[in-house]
Amino acid sequence: MDCRKHYPALWILLAGFLWIGQASAQITDTTGVIGFDEVEEEAPQPASSGGWTDMVHLSGRFDVVLEVQSPMETGDERRSSIRNYHKFLFLKVTPNDRLTFDSEVLDLSYYEIQYEFAKAFVVHAGKIWVPFGATPFHHYYGAVQGDPFEGLFLPNVWSEFGAYVNGPILSRGSVRVEGDVYVIRGFDSEPGRVLRFIGGGVDDRFAVGARTKVGVGSRFALWGSVLYNRFGPESDGEVLLWGGDLLADYGLVDLPVLRDLRLRVAFARAEIRDETLVDPRDSKDYWYYRYGDYAELTYRGFRYLYPRLRYGTIIDFDDRITNRDRHNWDLALLTRLGRHLMFLAEYQINMEEVNEIDNDLFRFQVVFEF
SS3 for 50-94 is CCHHHHEEEEEEEEEEEEEECCCCCHHHCEEEEECCCEEEEEEEC
Residue 5 has pLDDT above 50, yes or no: no
> Has residue 48 been placed in a domain?
no
Express each pLDDT in 248-260 by its tens digit: 999 999 999 999 9
Query: How far is residue 324 from each of residues 3, 138, 151, 283, 367, measured CA to CA in Å?
Result: 12, 19, 13, 21, 31
Residue 53: Cβ within 10 Å count: 10
Q: What CATH number corresponds to the domain at position 59?
A: 2.40.160.10
- For residue 22, is pLDDT > 70? no
Q: Is 352 within the bounds of a domain?
A: yes
Is there a domain that residue 49 lies in?
A: no
**What does the pLDDT average to over 109-122?**
94
- Predicted model pTM: 0.84
Cβ atoms 25, 216 nearer than 8 A: yes
Residue 213 in domain: yes
For 295-320, what is each residue's pLDDT tens digit? 999 999 998 999 999 999 999 999 88
Please state the rounded mean pLDDT for residues 121-147: 90
d(CA 107, CA 239): 29
**Cα separations in angstroms, 315 against 6, 42, 222, 320:** 11, 33, 23, 9
In the predicted structure, residue 46 carries a pLDDT above the cut 50: no
Q: How confident is the model over 310-357, as pLDDT tens digits? A: 999 999 999 888 888 999 999 999 999 888 999 999 999 999 999 888
Kindly report whether the peptide bond that precedes residue 148 is cis, defined as omega within 30 degrees of 0: yes
- With a cut of 80, say whether residue 9 has pLDDT above it: no
Say if CB 348 and CB 177 are below 8 A apart: no
- Domain-embedded: residue 33: no
* Confidence grade of residue 50 (pLDDT, cut at 50, 70, 90): low
* pLDDT > 90 in the chain, percent: 69
CA gap 281, 269 in Å, rounded: 22
Give the tens place of pLDDT for each residue, 154-164.
Answer: 988 899 999 99
Q: Report the pLDDT value the prediction gives residue 16, as an integer from 0 to 100.
A: 46
In a domain, 61, yes or no: yes
Inter-residue contact 205 to 193 (CB < 8 Å): no
Q: 32 lies in a domain?
A: no
Total number of domains constituting the chain = 1
Going by C-beta distance under 8 Å and a sequence separation of 6 or more, which residues neighbour residue 56? 46, 91, 92, 93
Range of the domain at 211: 3-20+54-369
Judged against a pLDDT cut of 90, whether residue 230 lies above it is answered with yes
What average pLDDT is seen over the chain?
Answer: 86
27 domain-assigned: no
